[in-house]
Amino acid sequence: MRDSEDLSKEARKVGKEIDALEAQAEAEEAQGNIEKFNSILEELESLRKKYQILSVQSQINMPSVRWTVNNAQLDPWNPAHLHLAEQRWRGQGALDLLMERIHQMHVVPDLLPGVHPSLDLHVTVPYPLNKQFKRSMKSGGKSIVGVEPGSFLSPTQTARAPGLWAHAWHSDVRLYTMVMLDPDVPNEETRSFTTYLHWMKPNIPVSAVADPRAFISPSLLNSHTTYVPPHPQQGTPYHRYTILLLPQPAKSVYSLNTEAKIFKDLANHNAERETIGVRINELNTKKAKAKGQGEVKGLTPAEFEELKTLSKQFTTTHAELSVSSPTSWPLPLLKEHTTSQWLDIPVVPDSERRGFNLRQFIREWGLSGSDDSTLKDIGGSALGGGTSGQSLPGLRAQVNGGKGLGTEENNAVVVGGGVHMFRELWDETVSGVFEVSVAEGRENEAKYALPKKVDRYEDLKGVRKYI
């Protein structure tokens, strides 16, 4: 095994090569040599992959690094920390348990023909009411519990929107669409079941370096198709409430070059903001100094107009962009500085929640992760321990018992994003949900039962067996 210091030296050498190539690429682009510019970009992508591999390999076997990651103190800017955290999620049971429950409880194929998650989605809800006081006494007031995929919850626990935490492994800020559905709503017309859309929010920014707590904001998640609490109907089997984070299409392609460009643009943006801030301080200082000397204005008309313009820019077009909290970015800047396309998905009216067609929705808006670069998130990387070596069609051919699907159904196989599910049964508290949150109202709360089984020997029960 190569020494860690040797790998670090090689990584630094590759880093210098990247800096030199970046300068060369800027020069070629300025001169309009597009062919040469594209050639340099391909070389840069290769070098960036090599740099990432060397950075990980130089630290991955250090006991201090492994201890840091295992004790939840990882640095999201450190590629070795991210790699170890992703490796633990994929290889130590968390992803296996999720996929086992998704397939065991037939979320696949009932909702989707196939799904291959690329990020770790957590769901939190309050403790059941009968356990909250006891739990709060033991835990110093904490009353929130993480939901294991496939576990049973009570309707009171989901009366308010659950908390969502997304742990991603990509450093660039990408956009996802969140949907929550129930595939087990009775359909009397077809004597079968249909879907119900409980919640939707498109354009959610997610990044490995962003604070996951920013993602949990109820005001963000409930600003589109608002949350309707789960309300399993009386007399029905358990309902499988499924939450999906669907990857939105890339603006061009998800790559290390794209990621580097976004971070460079963010650095330039914040540098311009700092320059504007310095000029605003200069003008304000001059104004305050003149006022202290008894002058009425202190600034020339041109300087006064400049201060007014710069102050407006400082809070709008040049607002601070912190990668750790992309949910706080102004909308125009969020659209500009993410690597995903912004989707203007309309709000789903209450009348269209029932019977919501998830597969058609995914095909219409391109939410299946159809970009081949998404495979990097699914199969790991060249670092080993999880690379799939498969093409996108190869992954999609795994569904339907290895027989694959038709072209239209293949477009609904989700490659990337996150998934979670929990189950609920009816209890007497569901009536309150119908009264407060469901459009049909409590008076239209339906009750179901299995049809009475026909007894073929009903007529013979009153006849004596022996004469």
Residues 161 and 227 grouped into a single domain = yes
Residue 465 inside a domain? The answer is no
The mean per-residue pLDDT over the stretch 379-389 comes to 42
Is the same domain home to 36 and 125?
no
Residue pair 183/195 in contact (Cβ under 8 Å)? The answer is: yes
Last residue of a domain, one of 290, 308, 336: 336
Q: Is residue 450 part of a domain?
A: no
| Res 356: pLDDT | 96
Residue 454 located in a structural domain = no
* Tally of domains in the chain: 3
In the predicted structure, residue 205 carries a pLDDT above the cut 60: yes
Summarize pLDDT for 129-164 with one digit per residue, the tens.
665 555 555 555 567 889 999 999 999 999 999 999
| Beta pairing partners, 200 | 179, 225
3-state secondary structure of 28: helix
What 3-state DSSP class applies to 164?
strand
Question: Which of 302, 336, 370 finishes a domain?
Answer: 336
What is the per-residue burial (b if ≥16 Cβ within 10 Å, else e) of 401-416?
eeebbeeebbbbbbbb
Instruction: Read off the pLDDT band of 284 (50, 70, 90).
Output: confident
Q: What integer is the mean pLDDT of 227-247? A: 93
The whole-number average pLDDT for the span 196-214 is 87
Which DSSP symbol is given to 209? T
Identify the bridge partners of residue 423 per DSSP, sorted by sequence position. Answer: 152, 240
Q: What is the pLDDT of residues 16-54, one digit of tens each?
A: 999 999 999 889 888 888 899 899 999 999 999 999 999
Distance of CA 369 to the CA centre of its chain: 12
The b/e string for 197-221 (b: 16+ C-beta within 10 A; e otherwise) is bbbbbbbbbbbbbbebebbbeeebb
Whether residues 266 and 231 fall in one domain: no
pLDDT recorded at residue 402: 44
Task: Give the rounded distance of the alpha carbon of 88 from its chain centre.
Answer: 19
Would you say 74 and 82 are in contact if contact means Cβ atoms under 8 Å apart? yes
Asked whether the beta carbons of 180 and 199 are under 8 A apart, the reply is yes
Contacts for 32 with CB less than 8 Å, ≥ 6 apart: none
Residues 165 and 218 reside in one and the same domain: yes
Query: For residue 458, is it within any domain?
Result: no
Specify the 3-state DSSP secondary structure of 207: coil
In a shared domain, residues 280 and 409: no
Q: What is the CATH number of the domain that holds 408?
A: 3.90.280.10
Provide the 10 A C-beta neighbour count for residue 457: 7
Same structural domain, 393 and 274? no
Distance CA 404, CA 377 (A): 22
- What contacts 391, CB < 8 A, 6 or more positions away? 372, 375
Residue 145: HSE in the Cβ half-sphere, 13 Å Cα cutoff = 17
CA distances from 295 to 288, 291, 304, 308 (A): 10, 5, 14, 20
- Position 296 confidence tier, pLDDT thresholds 50, 70, 90: low
- 215 and 352 part of one domain: yes
Whether residues 65 and 28 fall in one domain? yes
Categorize the per-residue pLDDT at 81 as very low, low, confident or very high, splitting at 50, 70 and 90.
very high
Q: What whole-number distance in Å separates Cα of residue 323 and Cα of residue 326?
A: 6
Instruction: Evaluate if residue 404 carries a pLDDT over 90.
Output: no
C-alpha 315/C-alpha 321 separation (Å) is 11
Report for 34-43, 397-406, 426-435: range of highest mean pLDDT:
34-43
Question: Are 30 and 141 found together in one domain?
Answer: no
Q: What b/e readout covers 235-246, taking b as 16+ CB neighbours within 10 angstroms? A: ebeebbbbbbbb
Residue ranges making up the domain that contains 301:
256-336
Q: Which of 336, 365, 391 is where one domain is finished?
A: 336
Name the DSSP letter for residue 26: H
Torsion of CA 344, 345, 350, 353, to 10 degrees: 180
Classify residue 264: in a domain, yes or no: yes
Average pLDDT estimate for 433-457: 71
Query: What mean pLDDT, rounded, does the chain reach?
Result: 83
pLDDT on residue 386: 39
- State whether 160 and 148 are in the same domain: yes
Give a yes or no: residue 223 inside a domain. yes
The pTM assigned to this predicted structure is 0.84
Question: Phi first, then psi: what are they for 294, rounded to 5°?
Answer: 90, 5
Question: The tokens of 429 are what?
Answer: 């508290």
- 244-254: average pLDDT: 91
* Same domain, yes or no: 23 and 130: no
What tokens does 104 get?
A: 């065991």
Q: Give yes or no: residues 377 and 318 share one domain.
A: no
Task: Give residue 251's Cα distance to chain centre.
Answer: 17
Query: In the 8-state DSSP scheme, what is residue 181?
Result: E
pLDDT at residue number 373: 45
- 411 belongs to a structural domain: yes
Task: Provide the token pair at 328.
Answer: 């706080």
**In a domain? residue 91:** no
Which residue, among 399, 427, 426, has the nearest Cα to 414 in the 3D structure?
Answer: 399
